[in-house]
Each structure stands twice: as C-alpha cells, then as structure tokens.
Structure 1
Amino acid sequence: MRVELTGEAFTTEGFGLIVTLMQYFVESRHDWVVDPGQLGGVDAYFRDHAPKMAQTYGLLASKGLVSQAWTVTAAPRSRLVSIGRESLSDHVWDLGRSARFVVENQEGDRAFILALAHVFGAKDIVEACEKGWLEFVQGGGSGEVPKVVRHEEAAIRRVKRVAFLLDSDRLMPGERSKHEAAVTELRALGISGHVLDFREAENYLPNRVLAATIEPPERLTEKIRHLKTLTSPQRAHFDIINGFWDRKNFCAAIPAAQQDLYGDLAESVRVGLRHGFGHGLTLVLHREAEAGNVKETDFAALGPTVAEELKTLLALVREII
C-alpha cells in the first residue's frame, strides 16, 4: 500500500513502530509517500533517534518523493493510507498482516488470479503472494464467502485489507446474480469485492488453454471444435467443467433454465459437449500463463469487455496489498 506519515507521527514513544514501518519500506512491502516539506524533519528525527540508519532512511524518504509524484497515468496505484500519532499503532498492526483475498476455492481461484497477473503484467501481485504478503482464504463455497469475509474483517483495526471474489453462477445473460444482496451488504461495510460477469472463472479460459488439458488429442480437438460454434453469450454461461450432462438420466441435455439460450443448439454440439472439460482448469491456465503461452488478446477474443473486467479484478487485489 502507499503510506504517508504525518509530521506528528514522528515521536519518541512511537520510535519502535516507526522503525517497523521503515522495514516495510526497505523490503518494498509498502511504499512510503513523502511530501517534500517533510524531508528536513524526517532527517532530523532519525539523526536523533537512529543515527546509524539515518542515511538509509533518508534515501527511503527521497525515494518516497517519487511515489508522491506518481500520476494515475504513470502506474497502477494502490490505496493511500495516512498515518498520524494516534493511529500509528493500529496502522502498523494492519500493515504488518497479510492482505486477505477471500475466494470460493483457494487452490483454483488462486491459480486464476496469479494467471491473470502473469498475463497482464501485475508482477507486484505475484511477488506479494510469493512473499506471504497476500493470502488467498478458502471461503468454503459461495454461500459461505460473506461469512468468512466478515470474520476476516473483524481482525482489522483501521485499514480494511480484505476483498473477495465470487462466481456469478448466472445461467443466462443479464440474470441477477444470487450473490448480489450479500455483496451489497459487504460493500456497505467498506469491503470491496467482485462478482464475475461470466458464470464461473472457468468460462474465461481461452481455447488455447483448454487445448492444453490432458485428454486424448482427437477427442479434445473435436470438443473444442464444438465449443467454437457457441455464441459469446452461450460460451459465457456454459458449464465448462461438467458440460451438457444430465446426471439423473445419464444423457446429454440442456437444463430447463437455459432452454432459451441453448434450445436451438444442434444435437451434434450438445452431444459433443456433454462431458465438458473437467476439473482443475484454472491450474492449467496458471501453468500456461506462467510459461508465457497466454496473451491479453486471448481473453479479448472471449468478448469486448473481458480484458477490462479482468484488469479491474487485478486492481481490486492491488488495492489491498
């Protein structure tokens, strides 16, 4: 996060906390935003209280001038936190904890976010995850996510470094997500989150990634050929994992709630996609993205707003780290 320290924060009794913050800045865990008028006071403070580290902290302050000069066009910006004398202890506590991103499936959604970070150049998110500054919290299913978010929020003193992600579970385009009421309540508490536009995270996987899944080549090629015949709205709400499979009657079938979307689908396509592409798909996405095999244009091909939505999702993560 971007952190500014008011002049009143630099007190003798708060020295230990100030040093802790300096360590966060040294390791680039957070960025120090410094006003030019503060340099003299900061230099004097450390020459009095930590003469051996005064030069190092002075260089940090000078670096902070660059952070202060950033503009919205220069680089993605995280949230700005202002720390004063009274809030110093609480803020140091919050900034020392890992940011918490609550998801439905820890392994799968973590892979999804990190894959996007690789594709869209969000190296800070990858680094934060590797160093333990960002943790993905298991929500235990969409219905439990709001409860887990509230639990995480309760441990926070001032800076709400908690956010969440939910599949929309929409079966039809434009359908109201069943999670919207819970999301509205969480946002009223000052907690940010994102509900995917598409049905699930797996619906965002480009065809080239699906082609990298483990399955007999001929069968996989045929399945992807059928997938390409779907319109953008059909692909966005298709059950990528399970396909058009009626578990009760053991046959290919279109769910009743999706008849208007898929009712005119050719029988050959319905049968060809009856089994879907299976589980673990976002892990494949992460592997391929990390290897440099996925580009932004692959996501853009899924729809005109997809790339921007995914960038917005990454910005949400960046706000809490």
Structure 2
Amino acid sequence: MRVRFSQDVLEREDDTAWRALARIIDAFVEGRHVWEIDDPDAIEASRWIAGDAGSREARRTLEIMRKSYTEALYASPNRRAHTLVIVVGADLAPDEARRCLEAPAYVVVENRESDGAFLKAMVRAFGRSELETAIARGWVDVVHAGGFGELEKRVNELIGNVPGPCRIFVLCDSDRMHPGHNDTEAIKALHACCAHHGVPGHVLHKRSIESYLPKGSLKHQGKRDVFEAFFDALNDAQRDHYNMKEGFKRPKTREGDVSVPPEHKGLFDGLAQDVLRKLCGGFGDHAWRLFLTTRSEITAAAVEERCATNPGEISRLLDIIEALV
C-alpha cells in the first residue's frame, strides 16, 4: 500500500504513536509498502523529527524519507502494486495503521496446495516480480478454504480481523461443463461471498486450474493417448470444459461406447468413439503438480496460447491481486 502521514500525527507529543510510526518505517525499508511524501521539508521540520534532531533514529528516518521521495519521482506510472492509500492519523490511528500494514493481503482459494501452485506459476510466467516477492515473504497469504462451499465461511473469519482497507481476493474454479454455463454451484458460491462482503473475486473462465496447463507441460504427464486426442481432436471450447483430472468414464466392456455426460449439452457431439476412448481417464488427479515440475514450459506465451477463448484473463486477475499488496 501507499502510506501518508498526516501532519497532525507528526506534531503530537505521543511516544506510543511515534513507536508505531517507527515500525511502519521498517515496512518501507523492507519494500513491503511505499511512503508517499508530498512535502519532505514539512516532515523534516515536524516535532517527530526536529524534536529528536541528531538522534540515530531521526537520522535513519530522514535517510529513508529522502530515498522514498527520490524513488517516487522515478517510479513507473504503470506500477500496479501499491495502489491502495491510507493516511496515518486520519484514516487510521498510528497503531491501527501499524497492524494494517503488518498484516498480509489474502488470496482465498479452495485448495492451498494445488491452487497455490497454479497462482505462483502464473505470477512467475507473467513476470510479476513484485507479487512473487510478496508471496514468498508472506506479504500475500494464500489461504485454504477447503472447497467452494467453505469460501464464505473462510472470508468471514478473515474480514474484520485487521483495521484498514479490506485486502481479500477470492479465486475458484468455475466447474463449467459447457460455454455459458454460469450457474454452477462454485460460481454461485463465489458471487454470493463477494457480494456479501464487498471483496473482489474471480471465477476461472475455464473449468479448472489444470485447464491452463500449457501443451509443453501436459506432454510430461505420460498420458500419450489422452494428450494426442486432447490437442489433435478437440477445439478450444472443448478443451476448456473437458474434465482434466478424470476425463470421460470408461465403458464397462471393451466394446461398449463411451457415454458423454449430458451436462456437457452436446459440446462433444460428433467426436468418434475412438477419440472418446482415448479421452477416458483424463490426465490424473495430480496433473496440477505440473505447475511445480514443468516451470520452464509455463511461460506467458504458452499460457496465452491456451487462453484463446478469453485472452488476457490471467493478466487481469494478477492485476487485481497486485493492487491489494
């Protein structure tokens, strides 16, 4: 976040408040938040600094202030992180501001392990270095909800724990079975949660996180028949809504026909039985681990190639998360 200090808080004779300000200064040194300075001379002349002139703490604060002010002059105007602003002493009392700035932003997901691997892979692929650092250092916390039915409960536990702007983002699979399938239980749960709490969220356009694995990654899964049918016989919409983990259910007999679930609304009509047989079984329950093991294959270009039906989706959701840092 971007942080300003009101002149009022700088002129107080309040050691408790000034100790909180010193802790906030530490967050600037770490690069966790940004000190937004309109008038460095006013800060230098304030009771907070001038009243302790010459001390080690005052000298340190002045050095950090000047560095922050100079860096702000040359910062990119397109910088996505640090867009939220709080004014210490106006929006929040100093110690409340300290608590706010020391707390992480939260990304609430259904499964911390698999969804976290997806998110980190996308952050890395799209070159979001500030966000990658924030996740690595715990400034952004990926929170396990335990299924879409638990999203609202988890958000409810997090919200209100920390003063200041709400910095929670909710992310979940869509579970869509066909294009335009916008009333899945997952979608309804996320929309209800976000509307109730006023937090941003994103339902993935594709059926699941595994649907975003690039071709080069899936090639490493060892499912040759599934891989060939998936990329050679299916179109983009079919790939978006295919069950990546389980595929289609195998027929009971070797000669039996593969039955496509009616919930797909005819999306896979016209595919030959030999193609459908290859698509039985899917890429397996642990296909998501490819986000961890095939990092070199997961590039922005490779992911965008898989996002033909909704280009730019990943960049947009990362923009929202970055704005909460």
TM (norm. structure 1) is 0.88
Structure-2 change in CA distance of 1:8 and 1:271 (3 Å): same
> 2:29: which partner in 1?
26
- For residue 18 of structure 1, give the secondary structure of its aligned residue in structure 2: helix
Deviation by residue 1:259-303 (Cα, 9 ceiling, x = unmatched): 4101211211111010100123233123322xx332211112123
1:153 is matched by which residue type in structure 2? Answer: I
| 1:5-84 mapped onto 2 (5 Å cutoff) | 5-10=5-10, 11-13=12-14, 14-35=17-38, 37=39, 39-44=40-45, 45-49=48-52, 51-65=55-69, 66-67=71-72, 70=75, 72-73=77-78, 75-84=79-88
**Counterpart amino acid of residue 43 in structure 1:** E
Query: Higher Cα Rg: structure 1 or 2?
Result: 2
Cα distance between partner residues in 1 of 2:20 and 2:308: 48
Equivalent of 2:215 in 207, 211, 234: 207
Residue 196 of structure 1: how far off its partner (Å) = 0.6
Shift of 1:248: 8.9
Summarize the alignment of residues 114-263 of structure 1 with structure 2, pairs less than 5 Å apart. Answer: 114-178=120-184, 179-180=187-188, 182-187=190-195, 189-213=197-221, 215=222, 220-228=223-231, 229-245=233-249, 252-263=258-269
Q: Quote how far apart the aligned CAs of 1:54 are.
A: 2.8
2:217/2:290 contact within 8 Å kept: yes
Distance 2:230 2:28 in 1: 48
1:93 aligns with 2:94: no
- SS across alignment from 1:54: helix
Question: How far is the alpha carbon of 1:188 from its aligned partner?
Answer: 5.1
On the 8 A contact 1:2/1:78 being kept in 2, the answer is yes
Amino acid at match of 1:4: R
- For 1:143 and 1:33, the matched residues in 2 are separated by 40
Aligned-partner Cα distance in 2 for 1:138–1:242: 23
Cα deviations by residue, 1:117-168 (Å, 9 ceiling, x for unpaired):
1101112222222222221111110111121112111313222121110111
State the shift of 1:315 in Å: 1.6
- Whether 2:267 is the aligned partner of 1:274: answer no
* Identity score, percent: 25
Question: What letter is aligned with 2:3?
Answer: V
For residue 2 of structure 1, what is the aligned residue in structure 2? 2
Q: Which amino acid aligns with 2:64?
A: L
Q: TM-score, normalised by structure 2?
A: 0.87
Cα distance, 1:69 vs. partner?
A: 6.2
Q: Give the RMSD, CA atoms, in angstroms.
A: 2.4
Structure 1: gaps (5+ residues)? none
Q: How many residues align?
A: 311
**Greater Cα shift, 103-112 or 258-267:** 258-267
Question: Is the Cα contact below 8 Å between 2:236 and 2:309 reproduced in 1?
Answer: no
Residues 181-237 of structure 1: per-residue CA shift (max 9 Å, x gap) = 642552453311111111111111111111122x3xxxx333211011211110001
The CA distance in 1 between the partners of 2:324 and 2:286, in whole Å, is 27
The answer as to 2:323 corresponding to 1:319 is yes
Q: Distance in 1 between matches of 2:196 and 2:83?
A: 18
Contact 1:33 1:68 in 2 (8 A): no
- The 3-state SS of whatever aligns with 2:147 is coil
Q: Find the aligned partners of 1:78 and 1:4 in 2 and give their Cα distance.
A: 12
177 and 122 in structure 1: CA distance in 2 versus 1, 3 angstrom threshold:
farther
Q: Which amino acid aligns with 1:262?
A: F
Check whether the contact 2:249–2:280 (CA below 8 A) recurs between aligned residues. yes
